[in-house]
Every structure is written in structure tokens, then in C-alpha cells.
Structure 1
Amino acid sequence: MKRYFIILAVLLTGCTKQLTQTNPNQQTAQTFWKTATDAVDGVNSVYGSLMLDGSYMRFTHVVLNTRGDDATSNSPWDQIYNCGKFALNVDGFAASAPFTAYYQGVFRANQVIESVPPIVMDTALKNRVLGQAYFLRGLYYFHLADIYQNVPMPLTIAQSSSDYYARQVSQDTVWMQVISDFTKAATLLPVSYADVTGLDANQFGRATKGAALAYLGKTLLFTKQYAAAAAQFQAVINLGVYSLVPNYHDNFTEQDENNPESIFEVQFSRSVGGTTQGWGPGDPQSNWAKYEARAITFGPRNFAYCDVQPTKALYYEFLQEPTAANQVDPRLYATMFYNTPTMKVYGQSFQATFGVADSEVFCRKYENDGFVASEFVWQFASGINSRLMRYADVLLMYAECLNEEGNTAQAYPYIQQVRARVGLADLATVKPNLTQAQMRDQIAHERFLEFGLEGKRFDDIRRWGWLQDPTKLAWLQARDPEFKTYTTGREYMPIPLAEIEANPGVIQNKGW
């Protein structure tokens, strides 16, 4: 598999003393950006980077999940096995694949942002196109800052050789740009596409005002600007278009996609596009499928590759609090396959398949259980959308901001909305008058169960400072032995070696 890095997109134009000829059958930047259709097609390509192997097709899930204490790996592939053990090699696929995918998205977003404004077209449609480009650029830079820390930040298309090597900037500088991009996007995007006219009317999956506000709030939360973050989350709530779906498991199947709880999700499909697996990272071909490969990568042993599994820590934490009806938290059943007499795995008895004494647990979220005999039937061809931002996350992030601002009592109702969906007792009744510190721990517990295996836990661990707290780190190591190999600096992924070798303006992260 070829590897491309940020530098490649511009190096292709960096040769000198060449005969320049124009292929009349191939579009160029000079001939393409002319019409409203070009503008929409251009922004559509920016979404395409969400579907690469390094992005949400597969490896972003690996990177975001395995490093938390809710997931572990015994994969035979070292690029997955070592990811959660903070032991990657700097020139490996795990380090390079997400980096490449995100910068491809940035490059495409920059083209839209530069090239669409001069096009003569409907102003409202133009604003929506630009809003989506700002949102997606913000999302890609959010991942780059969150995963790689200090990174190059090109915001324009290279015009000369002096622009080829974008210098590394601080994480704080990238966060500022992310905040700017999401802020612009929120002013340009509609609440939904149901009431717009034009080429994008009634289309699901496009970025909305709610998505931009939610991610703006998340970025402000990650940078500890709690009051400002709370205002954005309150704005999402006030839109009045989002709600929790009654069945928690509906958030992770192909049958209830783009539901009222989903604020932004990556659109995968088994029926759109071609049938050739589009591993990337090069330009997509017309025969590329729109599949995702998380299901077969994370799925249970005998039914998938089982490269990633839930931890027993996640399993046992689900058992800490039964529902008000004294039943097991239903999110456990939706999150993982585990040993119980009634558990079915792809239609087969868990105990008959794995044995009555087996204590293993396996991923169930985002699996096609109940719709196919095993993931091997479809191979790397699942059509389940990745829900990147759910309304439940907005509610719990809002509650966290309220608590951090000293309004602990006001946080209870927003936490309870998430608990009530799965039948848990009123938190204000079972744990009244929590202190701010106690509420922090409670929110951490609520987030662990609500978002287990959704790639949010390690971000939470890092931003809460647990890795620098000896007591918290020891607690993490006791419940997830992979944390025993953590060393200072490895809370961020390594900058790919090829990027460092190609770009003199980039140095490696500390600890690598």
C-alpha cells in the first residue's frame, strides 16, 4: 500500500524544466471551478476523506479506541496490537494512515474555500458549500491537533515552492483555527437541508449548524473554556431538533441511521458506488465502494478478525448500577457480546460457541449481528454509518461545563436525560448534593458507559489530566494493563517519519 503525506499534494507540482501540456480530457483547477455543480462536487470530495482507511473506514476507530481503558487489542498485526500500548513505530501504518487522510481532507477543503467564492451562483447555496468546507477543515484539524498535537497547518493552496513545506505550529494555534472554522461554519450552515432549495436539498449527511455548534463547543471544552463551551451546547439544545432515540442500540446499526439523536455521522453504504474496496489514500476511483471496515476489524472471534475487544473493566463497570427495575443496564447488551445464557452472537448461542466458562467479551457496537451470519460474509463491506457526534454527548458535555463553572446542581437534569433513556434511577435521588469533585467522577462514569467503544474515552482521560495524576494512572494501569507501557509524551501519536524526513519545518513529538 502506497503512503502519501501532506507534502505529496504539492510536490507533484514542484518539478522544473518540464514541458507543460494540457490534456483536454482532464479537468484542472483552472477549468473546474466554474459552476454551482462544480462547487457542490468539490465539497463532496472533502467528505470523501472521511471514508479513507486512515479515517473512519477503519484506522481512526483503531487509534481512538485502543488507547482508552474501554478497549484492548490482541491483534496479530503490530500496528493495531501496539497502538493501545503506546508502543508504535514512527514509520508504521498506524501513525501515517490517519495523518495522511486528514491532510487530504484539509487540502480539499482549502481548494473549496479558495475556489468557490468567485463562482457566480446562488448565494445561499454558496454559503452552504463554504460552511461545509469550513466545518470539515475544522474537523480534520481537530483530529490532527487531538491526535498529533503540534502539526503543520496549511490554510491555502500552495502557489510556489516556498509554500510546499508548511511549518509545524503549536497545538494551541491549531485549536484557535479549529474554533475559527467551526464558528464560521455555524454562521453559514442551515439547521437542516429539508427546507433548502438547490442541488443539496433534502440530503442527509451534510454538515449542519447543529454539528458546527456541537464541535465548536467540544473544542472549547477541550481547551477548558467552559463558559463559552456551555453557550454552544445550550445553542444546540435550543435548536429543538435533536432528541435521544428510545432504543440506545439504534445508534449503532444500519437500520436507524441519521436519526434524531445523530448530529453528524459519516455516511457509509453497501448500495452506493462501486464494489472495489477503496483503501486509499490516493484519489478515489469511480469503482470505489462506500464501505467501512470497522465491523470485521472489531467483531467477535470466529465471526470477524477480533483485532479490538472491550476491556473487562468496561464490562464490570456496567454491572455497578442496575436499572430502577433491577435489570442489567441495557447498554451492556448493545455494547458487547458477553457470557450469559441468553446471549446470541450472529444468531448462535454465545455459550455453545465459546463455552459456558468463557469470560471473553467482544464488540457488538457497529456490528452487523442479526443481519448476516458473520462479518466474513461481507468482508470489509459494512454499511453502518459512524455516528461522530450524538445528542447524548452534547448533554453530558454541557453537564460537565456546568459543573466546572460551579453550577453542579444544574448539571443533574442533563445527565439524567441520558440515564433515563436506559432506565437508570434519578441521579438526584440516588446521589444528591454531589460536590464538584464528586460530580466530575460521576460524569466520567456516565461517559464511560454511554460512549464505550466510540473512541471518546482516551480523549477524556488525557484532557482530564489523569495520565499526569499518579493515583489516576495507577488506577488505569490496574484495570487496563496496556497503560503500564505508557510513558510521558506518548499521549500523542508520533508524527510520521516520512513527514519529518520530507519537511524540514517539522520535528518529532516528545517521547518518540
Structure 2
Amino acid sequence: MKIYIYSLLVGAMLAGASCDSQLELTNPNIPTTGTFWKTESDAVAAVNSIYNSLMIDGTYMRMFPSLMDGRGDDIQGDSPWPDLNLVANFTIPTTSGPVFWVWGAHYQMVWRANQVLTNVPNIEMDQNLKNRVLGQAYFLRGLAYFNLANFYKEVPLITTLPADRSEFYPATATEEAIWEQIISDFKNAKANLPVNYQNVTGPDRGNIGRATSGAATGMLGKALVYRKRWAEAIVQFTELIGGQHGAYRLMENYRDNFDPRTENNAESLFEVQFATPAEVGGSELNWGGNPTANWTQVSAQAITYAARGYGFNDFLPTRALYDDYHKEMTVDGRKDPRLLATIASFEPTENSTRLYNDPWPHPVTDIYPRKYTNDGFGPSVEPVFRSGINYRILRYADILMLHAEALNELGRTAEAYSFIQQVRNRAKLPNLATVKPGMSQAQMRDQIAHERFLEFAIEGQRINDLIRWGWFENPAKLAFLKSRDAEFNTYTPGNQWMPIPQGELDNNPNLSPNSANN
């Protein structure tokens, strides 16, 4: 089931004031701050506009996943577009368009969320609905800053609307302040959101795709892990594993997590609701800018990642990823089933000899991304910018693996085995406690890194893991990465994060390049 989050550019109302004091024109077709923020419908429309920001090129429509994936050792650039390759080899300049698009789209999310959090409390409306609207705004602002902090490291922290021009140029915040705000936003979201929307009263009743208390709990736990607050993270994960925020479970079929026919399933805590024009209408592509009623709700990731001859072929899986899927056979003597859900490769022993609907058309040694493409789900080639595959931001498998990691970091290594094994069981891999019993804390860290590499490949996770584990500062680990992906050979310290866009630095005298890139 797809839902359509209708767009509303609430920010235009505050940007429309005339600079000429002798002439003020008001467009009667655009609401203003004086006519908006009055009703329950205004509140719901405003929070819907934040979701709209998840579906443009600087967020999950295309560019954010691309720039995240490209920097990992699971995928490498193979694009005629220089920016994608320069990101992948850690040499992207501050003037890069895609790096700026990510900045602009995420601050659009922040701007819209701040308007909701400032104005909705003053609207007379059903209190439970108001709480849900505010909870979603907190969640989406927390998600925006989670992405900004992981992408750029240090950015301005904006949580209120500017009172006057003196507040138009916010300073760079400390990394600690940004993460404290992320954690605070997810806590507030958790306190205000329902388990689901099936039994609520209001216009959001029955909606699928809105943030829930489970999504907020999971992102809160993940943020705490990223700050190495292990014990606090375990409290959050235990609630999810215990079922307090929804009956989450692993899907039996790993590929159900990337199949347009099995979206919003029991493993999904939060995903972006893409849809084809045939499902929800629209004729104008949702790249960004001012939304209109004709906007589509499509993802461009599928055609960007699709194999040569079927799409743009902008990225290729690394041979290291392909090889790592072969390190263990399943208990019934087959290849790890995540291999062919993640990578399109010629595997006659696994009855996989086709690409899309065709007999394998390339050298049998070629490998291409399959995850988040329509290979096996739709037409024989990718329809241009027309994918409806939802982007899964948080899966229950991640909760289990992060929980295991937190246990290990607290010295409870023996307890970590069972949570890792749940993920391995779906892949039909042997019992880890049998094949690698009694691992030390350090050995378990390496094992978790390997398990996460295979489970979350081509999901924008790897670069965040490498950064938070400190692998770029560890000579042995950096050498390991260089041996697996030649793009790491041009890495220089600090460039695991993206540079602050030059245009922003030029326009804001209080903004600094992030400290890592200096």
C-alpha cells in the first residue's frame, strides 16, 4: 500500500515579504503566515510538507544514497559524472553541486520542521492529533540532523525561526551540541508518537509511512550507539526487541526488504514512500524546488544503480563485497542468499543466469548492483526516473546488530551472539557460537563489522560505520580498506566527511569549514 504525502511549501510564506517598503503585493493563491496556522488541516498539511523533503534529489530520491554508498568499500564509482567518482575517491571539491543539494534538501527539512514546532502548539485542535503532528516534526528534524552530522560532521544547529535578519547567518555548532539535539528530538518524537496509525482518531487514521514510536525508539538507540552511549542504547533496543513499540521481526526472505511488492513490512521501522505515477499520479519529476500538484513521488536510485545497458551504471559493487559473500556457505551448502539480493551476478549454481528479463548479456565475470533496482520486479529495462521502490531507512536487522554491538562494547560479548545469529539464521549461515566460539571483545568487533558489511551493503550504512569505528584513523584498518577498494588510496585525513559547500561559506560569515577538512 502506498500513501501520498501531499506537498506544501510552508517556507514560501515567510520568504515572500517584499524588500520594497513602497510596494507590497500579496498573491491570493498562496497562503501567508497571517492566514495559515489556524486549523487542524493546516497542521497536518504542514507536517506533510516535511515528508515531501524526503523525496527530492538532495535526500532519498537519488543523491543522498549515492554519496553515502560511494564512500564505502562495498561499492565504487563507475560514472561519467565526475562528482560521483570524486566523492567515491574522497577528492570532491567544496563547489560540488551534489554536495550542496544534500545540504539544501536537509535544511529544507529542518526549516519546515521548525515551522511546525513553532506554530502548531498555538493551534486549537485535538490534543492527540497535535501530539502526533509535533512528534513527526521532532522525528524528521532529528533524522535531518542525524544525516547532516554524519555527512558534514559540523553544521549550524537551527531549532527556531529567525526573529530578524541578525539571525540569518547561524554559526557552526559543536559536534556535541548537534548530537545532543538529535538525541533530544528523537526522545521527544518517541514521547508523542503512536505505535501505528491504525486506531488513531483524525485525518491520519490508517496512514502507512508516518513516523511511529518504534521508528523514534530505533533512531534514538542508533544515535546513542553513534555517541558510544552503550547502556542507554540497550534500553531503547530492548523495548523494540521486547515488542513494546510494535511487533517487529525479520522477514523470512531478505529480498522482501527491497521489493516494491512487500513494502512497510514487519522488518521496517521507517522508510521513504516512493511510488510510480501509475500508483499515485503526477507528471513533473520531484527533483526539488517549489512543489506543485503535478509532482511525482518517484525514486531515481534504480536507474542510477542499474547495470550497463539497463540504466546509468553509475556504481559497481566491489569485488571485496562479492568475495565476502562467499566466505561462508549456508547450512544446506549454497551461497549466501543476500548475494543475489544485493549483487546482480552470473551464478548458474544458484539458478541465476538472467539480468532483468534477459539471458545474461555481459561477460560472466561482471557484477552490478541489484539492491534498490527493479531487476526481477518489473520491465526489462529501468523506466527513466520512475522507480517506486521505498527506501528503507531503518530495519529491525539493524536494531539486532546494534544491540549486539552495544552488548559487546559493555563486555557482554557472550550475550551478543544470539542477536547476531538471528540475522545469520535468515541467511541460513551456521551457528556463530559453534564456528567461532568464545570470541574476545576485539574479535567480536571485527565479526560485527563483517556481519554488518554483508547485511547492509548498498544501503548507505558502511561509511557511517567506518567513521564511527575510527577506521580512517587506524593505519591497519585503513590499509585493509585500501586493499579492498582502490578509491581509498586517494583518501586524505578528514575527507571521510563531505566539505561544507563553498557557496554557503561565501554567503555566511559565521559558518566555518568543518574541522576535519581544515
Q: Shorter-normalised TM-score: what interval?
A: over 0.9
Decide which of 146, 155, 159 is 1:155's aligned counterpart. 159
Q: Following TM superposition, by how much is the alpha carbon of 1:10 offset from its aligned partner in structure 2, in angstroms?
A: 7.2
For 2:27 and 2:297, the matched residues in 1 are separated by 29
Q: Which residue of structure 2 lines up, in the alignment, with residue 502 of structure 1?
A: 507
**Cα separation, partners in 2 of 1:507 and 1:12, compared to 1, 3 Å:** farther
Q: Which residue of structure 2 lines up, in the alignment, with residue 343 of structure 1?
A: 353
Kept after mapping to 1: 8 A contact 2:250/2:267: yes
**Cα separation, partners in 2 of 1:346 and 1:177, compared to 1, 3 Å:** same
For 2:13 and 2:468, the matched residues in 1 are separated by 32
Decide which of 395, 399, 406 is 2:404's aligned counterpart. 399
Q: Following TM superposition, by how much is the alpha carbon of 1:273 offset from its aligned partner in structure 2, in angstroms?
A: 3.9
Q: How many residues align?
A: 500
Q: Which residue of structure 1 lines up, in the alignment, with residue 307 of structure 2?
A: 300
For 1:279 and 1:242, the matched residues in 2 are separated by 33
Other structure's SS at 2:324 match = helix
Q: Following TM superposition, by how much is the alpha carbon of 1:426 offset from its aligned partner in structure 2, in angstroms?
A: 1.2
For 2:328 and 2:435, the matched residues in 1 are separated by 11
Q: Which residue of structure 1 lines up, in the alignment, with residue 429 of structure 2?
A: 424
Other structure's SS at 1:387 match = strand
Say whether residues 1:47 and 2:51 are aligned partners. yes
Decide which of 208, 213, 222 is 1:209's aligned counterpart. 213
For 1:258 and 1:59, the matched residues in 2 are separated by 22
Q: Which residue of structure 1 lines up, in the alignment, with residue 247 of structure 2?
A: 241
Q: Which runs of 5+ in 1 are unaligned?
A: 1-6
Measured on the aligned residues, the alpha-carbon RMSD in Å equals 1.6
Residue type of the partner of 2:263? E
Q: Following TM superposition, by how much is the alpha carbon of 1:338 offset from its aligned partner in structure 2, in angstroms?
A: 1.1
Residue type of the partner of 1:256? T
Q: Which residue of structure 2 lines up, in the alignment, with residue 277 of structure 1?
A: 285
Say whether residues 1:444 and 2:449 are aligned partners. yes
For 1:214 and 1:145, the matched residues in 2 are separated by 18
* Aligned residue runs from structure 1 range 16-415, under 5 A: 17-238=21-242, 239=244, 240-270=246-276, 271-280=279-288, 282-341=289-348, 342-350=352-360, 353-355=361-363, 358-376=364-382, 378-415=383-420
Deviations 1:416-469 (A, max 9, x none): 110001111111111111111111011111100000100101110111011000
For 1:447 and 1:43, the matched residues in 2 are separated by 33
Kept after mapping to 2: 8 A contact 1:83/1:94: no
Residue type of the partner of 2:254? Y
Residue type of the partner of 2:329? P
Q: Name the TM-score, length of structure 2 as normaliser.
A: 0.94
Deviations 1:84-129 (A, max 9, x none): 1011121111210111100000000000001101111110000000
Residue type of the partner of 2:468? R
For 1:370 and 1:402, the matched residues in 2 are separated by 38
Percent identity over paired residues: 48
Kept after mapping to 2: 8 A contact 1:10/1:164: no
Q: Following TM superposition, by how much is the alpha carbon of 1:8 offset from its aligned partner in structure 2, in angstroms?
A: 11
Greater CA deviation, 18-27 or 192-201?
18-27
For 2:42 and 2:126, the matched residues in 1 are separated by 13
Q: Which residue of structure 2 lines up, in the alignment, with residue 3 of structure 1?
A: none
Q: Following TM superposition, by how much is the alpha carbon of 1:62 offset from its aligned partner in structure 2, in angstroms?
A: 0.8
Q: Following TM superposition, by how much is the alpha carbon of 1:276 offset from its aligned partner in structure 2, in angstroms?
A: 1.2
**Cα separation, partners in 2 of 1:14 and 1:139, compared to 1, 3 Å:** farther
Kept after mapping to 2: 8 A contact 1:269/1:382: yes
Greater CA deviation, 336-345 or 498-507?
336-345
Residue type of the partner of 2:370? R
Kept after mapping to 1: 8 A contact 2:14/2:33: no
For 1:11 and 1:201, the matched residues in 2 are separated by 32
For 2:152 and 2:13, the matched residues in 1 are separated by 20
Greater CA deviation, 54-63 or 426-435?
426-435
